[in-house]
Amino acid sequence: MSAALRREDVAHVAKLARLTLSDAELDRFTEQLGQVLEHANDMSSLDLENVVATSHPFGLVNVVREDVVRASLERDEVLAMAPDAQDGRFAVPRIMGEAP
């Protein structure tokens, strides 16, 4: 069994990640990370030799609808409802620092 996680270890990892943690956060994260590591240690002791690896616990099914062409609003009608439109497109505020 591994040694208990120390508060100093969490503080060191936080420093490496350039995170500033309060004393309360250090205490909370030390406890939480300790529980995660303890659980991982418990898992490593299991005999999983005959267990098939999976990427997801449930079978995934991609549910899609048929791509059917149907009537929609006319471009000019939609643009008429927009707060601002220019050259047949929606006009939106420029993102800060973005070149024109």
pLDDT digits (tens, 9 = 90+) for 22-80: 999 999 999 999 999 999 999 888 998 898 888 888 888 888 889 899 999 999 999 99
The C-alpha atoms of residue 34 and residue 27 are separated, in whole angstroms, by 11
Q: What is the reported pTM?
A: 0.47
H or E element, residue 90: strand 89-90
For 7-44, the fitting CATH number among 3.30.70, 1.10.3470, 1.10.20, 1.10.357 is 1.10.20
pLDDT in tens, 2-34: 578 999 999 999 999 999 999 999 999 999 999
What DSSP state is assigned to residue 62? -
Kindly list the domain boundaries of the chain, sorted by start residue: 7-44
Q: How many residues does the chain have?
A: 100
Alpha carbon 92 to chain centroid distance? 27
Q: Are 84 and 90 in contact (CB under 8 A)?
A: yes
Q: Give the pLDDT band (50/70/90) at residue 86.
A: very high
